[in-house]
Structure 1
Amino acid sequence: MADLMQRLRELGRKKDVNLNNSVYSVISCSDLTPGSVDIWVDLPDEIKFDPLLAPFKQRYEQQHGKIESEEPTEGDKTIFDKKHEVDTKKEDAEPLKDAANRLMDPMQTKDEKKLKSAKKKRLDQALRTVKLCALISCWVLLTVSLLMNMERSDVVLHTAVQGGEIKEYVLPASEHRVKVSITLTGPFAQPVTNDSVNSLHLWLHRSVGDNTTAEFEQNSTKWSIHLQPEDILDFSPSSTESRLLILEDQAPILTRGHHDLNTSSHSLITEEITRWGQIGMNGTKLTLRMSSTSSSIVPLTVSYQMNPIDPEDGIIYATILLITLYTLIIFEIVNRTIAALLSSTLAVGVLALCGARPTLPELVSWLDVETLLLLFSMMLLVAILAETGLFDYLAVLAFEVTGGRTWPLINVLCFFTAIFSTFLDNVTTVLLMTPVTIRLCEVTQLNPVPVLMSMVIFSNVGGAATPVGDPPNVIIATHPSIVKANINFTTFTIHMGVGILIVCVQTYFQLRYMFKDINKLRHSVPRDILELRQELAVWRRAAASLSSYSRDEDIVRRALEKKVEKLNMALNRREAGGGASRTDPMFCSTLAQMKQKYRIRDKPLLVKSTICVSFVIIVFFLHAIPELQRLSLGWTALLGALLLLLLAERADLEPILARVEWSTLLFFAALFVLMEALSKLGLISWIGSMTENVILQVGQESRLTVAIMLVLWVSGIASAFVDNIPLSTMMVRVIAALADPAGLGLPLAPLAWALSFGACLGGNGTLIGASANVVCAGVAEQHGYRFTFLQFLKIGFPIMLGNLAVASLYLLFCHCFLQLH
């Protein structure tokens, strides 16, 4: 008890304002007994003179006259409004105590610590050496592969095929397995629009001898391509198709006898020779043959590559490259931009070793210049806009509107981000909202990292609602098969918007559950909460020190417990993110200081910036109308940035250019190269073909359900680990093939919605799953806040799984139960 009294006298802290101003009595004077008043007198002055125990003081003064406290109080002040010298003495005693403890430590403890420190240093040095050796080895492999292999150049040919004839083109002969990658450009029909019976056939042919002597022959499987109808074959739009033709060494070998003059026919019999290698190279002739069933001449452009990368080996190489990238990023072995550069250049080296080294112009063509231009231009706009002080002002305004409460602030940020992302590109939205979010978190003592992750997740969710909100949606909505199916902007937005609204609700509640401990949103526990917790602990110990053996002690204990209950309610409210009252003098003082500090610094520049940003946003909105899509998003942003540079009249551009996220742009460029290299290696097409094969294996009545689920989950999971732009480009062709009336003939609309949900929502899974994630991380890092791949994975991946689960239920209800298609 003595220790408790001593601690109570030493404590002095500020109480919660609402508690200070309270005059509520926890017990009435009529309930008091003389014994309970005597127990009250023995309490420390710091508790005894609390306003909530005023009835005890009043009853005592009625019996014994006015009481004088050892330390006079002012108004409603309690022990938590005072400072005591004991704290200072205690702090002064700490160094002495530490010194004594150090003297008491045995010498062998110091030796053990030095030994552990030396071991740790040696381990760190060894790991650093291993890391450098591994990275240098990758560089050596890349350099050797580029030095030893020339750039690949495809052979491009122009020809025309007459109906009924067989065209031949001689290829380099081989006595073993032959692989030729063929790319054709000509008047080909899309499968979903095909109403022609004419087709073009291509195959590889290998023979020995000539037409007048006995010869051995071998043919590969024929590749058939649908042609446009005869009436529009001439001057029809061109289309490009690619295929890998393989002539196996063990393919059936035929022999043709001498020409029979009596029957004018040829007899074909199977020879006992089982492998072409048994015949040898002597006189072997390898040709690419083409024929057409059309009565018209079919013009063609043919490009071929001998012995391309084997698909099975290519998938293995692509998987290794992808694992390398994620290992470098997850374990933070190097900076993520360097990791992307190393992985992309290694991919080029692998292509070179496989005989498919791309030329420099081809590498440049792999870059998505539209996306890079959009990012660069919006970064310029945001850099100039930040100089006006607008972002600081908006943060203070949001703080005032929400009263500084945690969850209302996050709700405002997330839902405004989701709404803006529906009609603006989500990368643009993130560039505009990230500086505001960071400033707002700084003034409210929140950790910006979890708040930014929540904001960018809502950006990806909101961007999925319209065809212009996310790049995968642009790819899907503009595909010819989707356009022909009459899926326009309005239809797309209505169907996706309802589903995305449900997904937003699920995302919000899942985030609330994941951050139910409000301290996860803070750098550290705020000082007022710490003080409130300590005050609560003191009152609890005071109440626990009184027993219930007598009525007098029970009265005092119940009075203290009621005080504990009020403090506990106040603590729960503060820990749940409840802000102070707007009439709170502390809140008003903080708000006034923030308004004075964070003001608009350059109003003329703000007006100019508003004009330019308004121009960009208005043209972005007009881009949602198909008839007004005359200006791309990248060009629109560049024109707005150029106009602002002219209006700002800056003589020195270096400060503005220094704010551009060059590392983020370089990361995107390297990622585009890597994803195209993975496509060349066959990984992305393998994902599509496996999806199509699984759908073909189920019964007719279940194919739509299985197709929706496979397209949704395969595109969702894959988009979390590979860029969703090339994945969407490949998967939209898969769903077009599934909807081909000549094939499965599945409804196209449900598959399109499933692909849109999967490709857009899958970006929430990892840090590099969506462009907006990378941009947000880059801007945050420039402001001094860095979040890692694993930090984002812990929050984003469960959210992504929840998103896909809700989207699955929505699609199944609409298209398998209601059959809205």
Structure 2
Amino acid sequence: MSTVVAVVVFVVAYLLIASERVPKMVAALGGAGLVVAFGVVGSDEVFFSRDTGIDWDVIFLLFGMMVIVGVLRRTGVFEYVAIWAAKRARGSPLRVMVLLVLITAVASAFLDNVTTVLLIGPVTLLVCDRLGISPVPLLIAEVLASNIGGAATLIGDPPNIIIGSRAGLDFNDFLLNMAPIVALELVVFTLVLPWLFRGSFTVDPQRVADVLALNEREAIRDTRLLVKCGVVLAAVFTGFIGHAVFHLEPAIVALLGAGVLVLISRTRPRDYLAGVEWETLLFFAGLFIMVGALVHTGVIGHLAQLAAHATGGNALVAVLLILVVSALLSGVIDNIPYVATMSPLVADLVTDMTNPVHADALWWALALGADFGGNLTAVGASANVVMLGIAKREGIPITFWEFTRKGALITTLTILLAAPYLWLRYFLLT
């Protein structure tokens, strides 16, 4: 009975989110309330379980970075970067998109992709405001790039951290095995941008002339605060990159950075809390509870086992099946609980592999499928939800299907490129 309730509630809530008949936060919290009310999960599973409860690391990482961005916004640095980017691109919307997409992808490899979109989103909105163009295509392109770029390293996407821990893979392993295909994916993604967002690159020449005449240095409103923010951000980024050395999770680093910055900047609570996307945080909490119910009742584990047993002992079939199934399931549910559930099953498959190269390929298939699959729908990855929250806050909501139409195409493209890469590198050339 609990399994049926968990599945029905999740499906109904997901359909409400996709149809946008009710706010996604209401749908997620309503669904979460139902699975708790029907006894599918209890307070222990919701609040204290790492496998089936709210992922507090994600919630507090987002909260900490939102506070930091809220303080940083007061310096005028986002206006500075926006004017700089527009001038370097000579006012061309397509060149602006390419520039910001590349910045986003590279940054997402060395920060988590949620932090990257929190930083790049305000810049994009200001660039588009200056040029008088719609920011929607740029925001969608950037979040797609963040999910692709984040796949390159151990720390770029949360599923990679889970896989690295389970498989004993370090930063260099990810860099050597994931970065080559990610670089290729980014080149192809950049080439298809004019087609993917065709009709979105018209701009008023007068607006371009006005932007080129601006002096970006005049945008900085508080130099002393900017220096303080720069020092804190440098420390936070160092903590993100070296979290395995410092033994501090990214969420703790973000909260410490936010606390220190609020203290030394003496920013009023209403100023730094104004930048917090409360609806986004509550949506995540509800989504985690509903997905946790699916994990708790064994639904996700059962689906993963079906995928694992369908391989018939063929290593290549297993790799490709894990790649495709991971992309599909990660696009529908959050890829963090999916990878947490699937990684023990992949570990079991690895023990049956006689060829260590084929065994490693299973882990890379899981990582590529989960990371690239995050682009499939508007709720497939944390970065997607955050960016849509930023857009809604600015009065330019991006609908579920508006994002998903683009995301599904890019997911298909990236998986089609990843499949031959896995075959060539770990089977044909070994």
> 1:470-518: CA deviations, max 9, x gaps?
0000000011xx11xxx32212211100011111122222332222x3x
Pairing 1:307-322 to 2, within 5 Å after superposition: 314=3, 316-322=4-10
Measure, in 1, the Cα distance between the counterparts of 2:129 and 2:210: 17
* Other-structure match for 1:326: 14
Match of 2:281 among 644, 649, 665: 665
Displacement of 1:742: 9.1
Measure, in 1, the Cα distance between the counterparts of 2:133 and 2:344: 45
- The answer as to 2:196 corresponding to 1:514 is yes
- The gaps in structure 2 that reach 5 residues or longer are none
* Other-structure match for 1:349: 37
Measure, in 1, the Cα distance between the counterparts of 2:362 and 2:203: 50
Go from structure 1 to structure 2 and tell me whether the alpha carbon gap of 1:742 and 1:340 turns closer, same or farther (over 3 Å shift).
Answer: same
Go from structure 1 to structure 2 and tell me whether the alpha carbon gap of 1:383 and 1:681 turns closer, same or farther (over 3 Å shift).
Answer: same
Cα RMSD between the aligned structures? 2.1
Query: Which residue identity does 2:96 align to in structure 1?
Result: L
* Other-structure match for 2:212: 591
> 1:398-451: CA deviations, max 9, x gaps?
111111012211111000100001010111111111000111111112211111
Pairing 1:668-747 to 2, within 5 Å after superposition: 668-696=284-312, 700=313, 703-741=314-352, 747=358
Go from structure 1 to structure 2 and tell me whether the alpha carbon gap of 1:744 and 1:735 turns closer, same or farther (over 3 Å shift).
Answer: farther
Measure, in 1, the Cα distance between the counterparts of 2:10 and 2:355: 33
Match of 1:649 among 266, 269, 286: 266
Measure, in 2, the Cα distance between the counterparts of 1:741 and 1:330: 40
Measure, in 1, the Cα distance between the counterparts of 2:429 and 2:353: 26
* Other-structure match for 1:622: 242
* Other-structure match for 1:439: 126
> 1:619-646: CA deviations, max 9, x gaps?
22223xx4x1411101111111111111
Pairing 1:7-406 to 2, within 5 Å after superposition: 314=3, 316-350=4-38, 352=39, 356-358=40-42, 360-365=43-48, 366-406=53-93
Secondary structure of the 1:520 match is coil
- The answer as to 2:404 corresponding to 1:793 is yes
* Other-structure match for 2:152: 465
- Taking structure 2 as the reference length, the TM-score comes to 0.94
Q: Is the 8 A contact 1:735 1:748 kept in 2?
A: no
Match of 2:109 among 416, 422, 425: 422
Go from structure 1 to structure 2 and tell me whether the alpha carbon gap of 1:818 and 1:597 turns closer, same or farther (over 3 Å shift).
Answer: closer
Larger radius of gyration: 1
Measure, in 1, the Cα distance between the counterparts of 2:417 and 2:426: 14
- The answer as to 2:71 corresponding to 1:450 is no
Displacement of 1:668: 0.9
Aligned sequence identity (%): 35
Q: Is the 8 A contact 2:104 2:146 kept in 1?
A: yes
* Other-structure match for 1:612: 232
Measure, in 2, the Cα distance between the counterparts of 1:805 and 1:435: 32
> 1:292-320: CA deviations, max 9, x gaps?
xxxxxxxxxxxxxxxxx5xxx72x44432
Measure, in 2, the Cα distance between the counterparts of 1:357 and 1:708: 33
Measure, in 2, the Cα distance between the counterparts of 1:428 and 1:489: 19
- Taking structure 1 as the reference length, the TM-score comes to 0.50
Query: How many equivalent residue pairs?
Result: 426
Measure, in 1, the Cα distance between the counterparts of 2:135 and 2:162: 33
Q: Is the 8 A contact 1:317 1:681 kept in 2?
A: no
Measure, in 2, the Cα distance between the counterparts of 1:726 and 1:496: 21
Secondary structure of the 2:219 match is coil
Secondary structure of the 1:714 match is helix
Q: Give the structure with the higher percent strand.
A: 1
Query: Which residue identity does 2:361 align to in structure 1?
Result: P
Q: Is the 8 A contact 1:396 1:598 kept in 2?
A: no
Displacement of 1:739: 1.4
* Other-structure match for 2:383: 772
Query: Which residue identity does 1:618 align to in structure 2?
Result: T
Secondary structure of the 1:643 match is helix
Q: Is the 8 A contact 1:340 1:667 kept in 2?
A: yes
Measure, in 1, the Cα distance between the counterparts of 2:212 and 2:238: 34
Query: Which residue identity does 1:612 align to in structure 2?
Result: V
* Other-structure match for 2:413: 802
Q: Is the 8 A contact 2:358 2:427 kept in 1?
A: no
> 1:6-49: CA deviations, max 9, x gaps?
xxxxxxxxxxxxxxxxxxxxxxxxxxxxxxxxxxxxxxxxxxxx
* Other-structure match for 1:230: none
- The answer as to 2:187 corresponding to 1:505 is yes
Go from structure 1 to structure 2 and tell me whether the alpha carbon gap of 1:380 and 1:807 turns closer, same or farther (over 3 Å shift).
Answer: same
Q: Is the 8 A contact 2:80 2:217 kept in 1?
A: no
Measure, in 2, the Cα distance between the counterparts of 1:597 and 1:802: 40
- The gaps in structure 1 that reach 5 residues or longer are 1-308, 529-579, 581-585
Q: Give the structure with the higher percent helix.
A: 2
> 1:332-390: CA deviations, max 9, x gaps?
1111111111112222234x2xxx551x2432111111111111000000000001111
Measure, in 2, the Cα distance between the counterparts of 1:336 and 1:750: 37
Measure, in 2, the Cα distance between the counterparts of 1:420 and 1:723: 22
Q: Is the 8 A contact 1:711 1:758 kept in 2?
A: yes
Q: Is the 8 A contact 1:503 1:806 kept in 2?
A: yes
Secondary structure of the 1:417 match is helix
Measure, in 1, the Cα distance between the counterparts of 2:74 and 2:160: 34
